Each structure stands twice: as structure tokens, then as C-alpha cells.
Amino acid sequence: MSETVLFVDDEENILRSIERLFMDKDLTLRSVTNAKSALSVLQQEDVAVIVSDNMMPGMSGLDLLYQVRDISPSTVKVLMTAYANLGTAVEAINKSEIFRFVVKPWDNNELEWIVEESLARYRIIQALSRGTESTLLSLAQTIELKDPYTRGHCERVGEYAVAMARRLGLAESACHEIRHGCWLHDCGKIGVPEKILNFRGPLDANQYATVKKHPAWGAEVARQGGLSKRVINIILHHHERFDGTGYPLQLKGHDVPLEARIISVADVYDSLTTDRPYRDALPRDEALQILRNLKGSVLDPDMVDLFLDLFGNQTE
């Protein structure tokens, strides 16, 4: 059964334009002209995504989406406004947990992409809430389809990281959570356009800024899906650096959670030894030497030594 997308705007001609844009999509369209009607729809059926205008008579879109947060927590919220400004954006993010903004007049391709990404986010949250191993792995494999160069990456990183965790003597329950975190560590990339993920060459500043948002996006999805703190830590912190120059929070040294320091080594090694849009895979010995060179800057020296002890002497 197709998911429901609800559009809210007080102007009928705008709703008709949106309906024409999405009429051939595999989804159930609902459109209403006011917040009261929108709340009624939300109380009667499951809504995957709501796209609401902000400036409407009566209740504003911002206030409507604030109520949606409590009525239907899993519904992904998009705010459409002709009056976008920093104050509106900050209030929307802090108060109503808005996923995306659409500025009028909108670009059709952009609006289609935002709705598709919102639906993908909704599906991820639904899958995470079910939480079985097969569901989590299937989700990770689906995310990897956005970036064909990373196919199998999450599983390989999971094998490396779990081996390291077991050598450290972590409980088997912790090892399971680390495996799940590895599978899902890049789930925030569902919000990164494929043209950026598959860009052949160095990214410009704006493209890189978009990519750098994926740990926070992924961690928020994991929180909504009810995953454990250890899994969330891996998703949020797998790009922190031991010297404090990573992202998103610039944590330093042992302030970076252990599980994130483990996966960082496994993630870097597997990235180096597989083909990427911007370079070919490196030979194993060269990749291992790069790990050694990154000790104390990007990577935890103890975790690098552990990885080398486990995998440094293996043959090709």
C-alpha cells in the first residue's frame, strides 16, 4: 500500500498544481486548505509526510507542525513558506522538528526530491522501530544503493569492528550493538543528494557542508527509531577525529565514545581499500601504512594498534 503525503495550503490553485506534479507517483495524495482539516486527516489515517504552508489564516503551518509532533511522531514534517528567514528556520527546527524547508515559488524538481527524501526518512524510522537484525541489514543495504561504491561497506566495517570489540573484552550485547551501529553508520546519507555522493572529484565547500550533516541526520533518525545509545553514538560520532578536528561536535581523544573510535579505524581502512568515485582502491599494505600515519590525529592510536594486531599480518 502506498504511503500518504498530506499537503496543506490555503490557496486552492497551489494545491491543484501540487496534485498535478505528484499525480503519477506511487503514493496516496491528500490535500486540505487549513490546519484544522489537516489535524483531522492525521487523526484518521497514517500520514508519512506532511508538507504545510506557513502563512495561513487561523493556525500557522509552524503551529500545525508543532501539534503534528505529538499527534503523529513518525510523520516527517516539511514547511513551505514564501517568507523564509533565519528566525523562522531556527524556530521550526527547535519547536517543530522540521525535516526540510520549501521556499515559494518552488522548483518542481526540488519539491519532488524533498518529498522523496522525506518518504525515505519515514521508511527508515519505521524499519528501525521494528529493529530485527534482518530489517536493520536490509535497511543498510538499501541505503548503500544510493552510493554503489559503498556496496558491502557496512557489513565489512561491522566484521572488523566486532572483532576489535571482542578482543577488547566487550560484552556480546555490546558487540551486537556495535555491529548494528556499523550497518547503520551512514544512514544519514539518505538526506544527501546522489549527485553529491557520486560526484567524481573533490567536493566544493557547499557540497562538503551537506555531506557533513549526515551523522546528525542519521543520529536523529536512530533516536526516533528507538535505537540504543551505543548505536546512536556510532552514527553521530564516526567522523570525529582523535585530535578534535572532526565533525559534528569536534570531540577530542577519549571524549569520543569507544564504539565510535573502534568503527573509525574500520571505516577508514575499508574506505581506503575499496573503489570510490574520486579514486581507485589502494593496495592493502599502503592502506595499513596510512592507518599508522593517522595515529593520534584522525584515529585513536590504541585502536589502530589493535586493528593492526588483528588484521595487519593477514595475506591478501
Phi, psi for 34 (deg, rounded to 5)? -160, 165
Please state, as a whole number, how many other Cβ atoms lie within 10 Å of the Cβ of residue 258. 18
Contact in structure between 44 and 71 (CB atoms under 8 Å)? no
Residue pointed to by grid coordinates 589493535: 306
Q: How far apart are CA 100 and CA 20, in angstroms?
A: 21
Told to judge if 25 belongs to the known catalytic residues of this protein, a careful annotator would answer: no
SS3 53: strand
Q: Is 253 helix (H, G, I), strand (E, B) or coil?
A: helix
Report the alpha-carbon distance of residue 227 to residue 125 in Å, rounded.
10
What would the DSSP string read from start to end of 170-214?
A: --HHHHHHHHHHHHHTTGGGGGS-HHHHT-SS---HHHHHHHTTH
Residue 234's nearest CA partner among 267, 271, 270 is 267
Q: Residue 161: name the closest of 234, 246, 220, 229 by CA.
A: 234
In 15-54 the beta strands, taken as DSSP E runs, fall at 28-32, 49-53
Query: What single letter denotes the amino acid at residue 34?
Result: N
Catalytic-labelled residue, pool 146, 189, 229, 295: 189
What CA–CA distance (Å, rounded) separates 168 from 261? 13
Distance between CA atoms of residues 51 and 140, nearest Å: 27
DSSP, res 148 = G
3-state DSSP assignment of residue 15: helix
What single letter denotes the amino acid at residue 167? R
Q: Give the three cell numbers for residue 32.
A: 486540505
Which residues are catalytic, by number? 189
